[in-house]
């Protein structure tokens, strides 16, 4: 039995075995109290060892970080806050942890310090909680889509296409960078690269996802994506996980309905399945955490055109004296401060902003009849800003090609993508959810490096 099960067990005065890592040891001459944790729950189980019954050297080796196998009797605990404890009969030390060198001693550590020992930080309460919640959110994503007939679709990560223009890309190669093969004109001869061409890591699985939606109907991707942008912010990673559903026959309204239902489902799943971990994070980091989560579930998201959104921001600036760092005007790409003003100050609710100027959105978005805007939708959240970006897609072949030519997307190399519009085109929509942004929101953590096991950022690919 794992410690979560032992703590929940209704049995008493039975022989049990517990295995886990020592979080703390305290006590006196007669008795040692050992808090043991095995990662199955935020709670430790207390092991009570009569010092007289154990070898002194053995008990001395029971230090923070050591791994133990304990046998003993599960009994009611006289201590408050824990239903049971184990009266130890035997203790075996699987592996010790030298107090002189083990970095995770009892005292609290800063999140910055823990980032430097990312390989050990899941042994802390904070990161145990964060990574169990991260798991719960990933599982809830798969469950949500599976229950609704969506097919999990694995778009390739290595791609010969760099068409979406969603961001700078990492090159993938087996050429000797120090001495690459060259063509007569001196340029690199990518015909000799592994794939016979230059390849990159994908910035989005969407385009391949659209192919799947135009055959399987309802699909979603959920996997790593990459941006080689030199962004050293608490909101950006070079390698992050993205969820991208794509739905045949969905127009923009149905796309918004799905996005709102989806994210409410996830937040509710966390509240129902991660109560202990959320309570810990609330106590330690964010007193309003569960209140904020409940608020998102309880309220309809505001649905608002970009044009009206800009008006509200301009009025806030001109009439209420709100100061923005970045300029606001029709046509501007909204900054996080603008998004958060709408959400946190003006509406005090999540906002779905739609119908953005086409110039600031991707080529594949459905063009509105006004000639100026596209059927984009961004879901804006408190604290996070944009958590979802999506759109109805342009289903008309001619309009799509014209827009690709306007913005310089190579039509010739994208024939496979255009085939969805050439053969059996249909209205369809989709969106992307940045998984780490979701986990940030649900955990209340404030730095994206703290919600992924091993963050990849500029100048950092440790572990």
Q: Which of residues 265-284 bind its own copies (CB under 8 A)?
A: none
Binding of its own copies at residue 66 (CB under 8 A)? yes
> What whole-number distance in Å separates Cα of residue 238 and Cα of residue 436?
12
411 binds its own copies (CB under 8 A): no
Among 6, 7, 16, 21, binds its own copies (CB under 8 A): 21
- Binding-residue total with its own copies (CB under 8 A): 106
Residue among 116, 135, 139 nearest 454 (CA): 116
For the CB of residue 183, give the shortest distance to its own copies in the complex, in Å: 10
- Is 416 a binder of its own copies (CB under 8 A)? yes
Q: Does 168 bind its own copies (CB under 8 A)?
A: yes
For the segment 381-410, give every residue that binds its own copies (CB under 8 A): 395
Rounded CA gap, 191 and 181, in Å?
A: 9
Q: Classify residue 96 as exposed, middle or buried by CB count within 10 Å of its CB (0-12, 13-18, 19+).
A: middle
> Applying CB under 8 A, does 188 fall inside the site for its own copies?
yes
Query: What's the CA gap between 55 and 219, in Å, rounded?
Result: 60
Mark residues 93-132: x for contact with its own copies by CB under 8 A, - for none. -xxxxx--xx----------------xx-xx---xx--xx
Our finding on whether 60 is near its own copies (CB under 8 A) is: no
The least CB distance from residue 225 to its own copies, in Å, is 10
CB of 123 to its own copies, least distance (A): 4
b/e for 151-168, b at 16 or more Cβ within 10 A? eebebeeebebbbbebbe
Between CA 432 and CA 259 the distance in angstroms is 9
Residue 385: DSSP 8-state: E
> Of these, 177, 325, 327, 371, which contacts its own copies (CB under 8 A)?
177
Residues in region 192-251 near its own copies by CB under 8 A:
194-197, 199, 201, 208, 211-212, 214-218, 223-224, 226, 228, 230, 238-239, 241, 248-249
Q: Which of 13, 30, 80, 187 binds its own copies (CB under 8 A)?
A: 187
Q: Which 3 state secondary structure label does DSSP give 11?
A: coil
Nearer to its own copies, 202 or 354 (CB): 202
Q: With binding defined as CB under 8 A, does residue 453 bind its own copies?
A: yes
Torsion of CA 271, 272, 275, 281, to 10 degrees: -20
Give the dihedral of Cα atoms 366, 372, 376, 380; nearest 10 deg: 180
Which region, judged by CB under 8 A, interacts with its own copies, from 64-72, 323-331, 355-363, 441-449?
A: 64-72
* Residue 306 C-beta: closest distance to its own copies, Å: 27
d(CA 205, CA 415): 17
């Amino acid at each position: 039995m794992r410690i979560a099960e032992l703590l929940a067990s209704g049995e008493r005065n039975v022989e049990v075995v517990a295995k886990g890592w020592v979080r703390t040891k305290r006590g006196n001459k007669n008795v040692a109290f050992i808090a043991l944790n095995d990662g199955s729950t935020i709670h430790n189980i207390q092991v009570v060892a009569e010092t007289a019954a154990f070898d002194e050297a053995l008990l001395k080796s029971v230090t923070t970080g050591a791994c133990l196998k304990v046998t003993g009797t599960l009994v009611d605990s006289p201590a408050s806050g824990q239903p049971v404890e184990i009266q130890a009969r035997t203790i075996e030390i699987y592996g010790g942890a030298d107090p002189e060198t083990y970095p995770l001693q009892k005292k609290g550590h800063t999140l910055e310090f823990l980032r430097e020992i990312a390989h050990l930080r899941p042994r802390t309460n904070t990161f145990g909680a964060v990574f169990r919640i991260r798991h719960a959110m990933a599982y809830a994503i798969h469950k949500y889509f599976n229950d609704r007939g969506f097919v999990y679709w694995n778009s390739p990560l290595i791609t010969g296409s760099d068409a979406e223009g969603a961001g700078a890309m990492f090159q993938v190669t087996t050429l000797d960078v120090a001495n690459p093969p060259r063509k007569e004109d001196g340029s690199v001869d990518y015909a000799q690269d592994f794939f016979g061409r230059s390849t990159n890591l994908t910035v989005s699985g969407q385009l391949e996802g659209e192919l799947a939606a135009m055959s399987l109907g309802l699909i979603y991707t959920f996997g790593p994506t990459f941006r080689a942008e030199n962004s050293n912010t608490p909101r950006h990673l070079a390698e992050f996980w993205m969820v991208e559903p794509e739905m045949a026959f969905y127009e923009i309204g149905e796309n918004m309905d799905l996005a709102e239902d989806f994210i409410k489902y996830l937040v509710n799943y966390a509240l129902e399945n991660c109560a202990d971990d959320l309570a810990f994070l609330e106590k330690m980091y964010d007193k309003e955490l569960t209140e904020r989560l409940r608020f998102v579930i309880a309220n309809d998201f505001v649905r608002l055109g970009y044009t009206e959104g800009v008006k509200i921001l301009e009025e806030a600036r001109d009439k209420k004296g709100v100061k923005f760092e970045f300029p606001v005007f029709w046509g501007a790409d909204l900054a996080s401060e603008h998004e958060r003003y709408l959400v946190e100050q003006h509406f005090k609710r999540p906002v779905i902003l739609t119908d953005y100027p086409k110039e600031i959105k991707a080529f594949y978005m459905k063009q509105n009849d006004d000639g100026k805007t596209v059927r984009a939708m961004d879901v804006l959240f408190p604290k996070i800003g944009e958590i979802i970006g999506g759109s109805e897609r342009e289903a008309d072949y001619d309009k799509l090609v014209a827009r690709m030519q306007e913005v310089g997307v190579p039509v010739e190399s994208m024939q496979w993508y255009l085939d969805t519009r050439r053969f059996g085109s249909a209205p369809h929509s989709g969106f992307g959810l940045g998984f780490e942004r979701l986990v940030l929101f649900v955990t209340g953590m404030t730095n994206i490096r703290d919600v992924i096991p091993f963050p990849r950022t500029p100048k950092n690919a440790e572990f």
